[in-house]
Structure 1
């Protein structure tokens, strides 16, 4: 979010555009706790416009 300059409010709008209903407060709580499903992570990445993900083993 920070790299793309996207606010929580903007992410809420972007998620709504792909059919994911979240309110700003709930979104902030999920992200700050770091407790959410992999499916939600992928939805957020889609909302942020992420088209590729590189995972390096280490």
Structure 2
């Protein structure tokens, strides 16, 4: 998640706004902590990727 945010030049503050646009209400410190710890649900991951405009995901 961190790498994708850097690749797309999206700050945590911007991510909070983009998540709010898709109906996910959370604070910047909460989002920062989730991503820093690396402990978040797959749903949160998909919500973040959707919010920042990721349409393709390659695994492997």
Q: Shorter-chain TM-score category?
A: over 0.9
Task: Say what the alpha-carbon RMSD is for the aligned residues.
Answer: 0.5
Unmatched 5+ stretches in structure 2: none
- Larger-gyration structure (1/2): 1
> Going by fraction, where is helix more abundant, 1 or 2?
2
Following superposition of structure 1 onto structure 2, how do residues 29-48 of structure 1 map, counting pairs within 5 Å?
29-48=33-52
**Which consecutive aligned stretches of 4+ in structure 1 deviate over 2 angstroms post-superposition?**
none
Unmatched 5+ stretches in structure 1: none
TM-score, normalisation: structure 2: 0.91
Equivalent pairs, count: 56
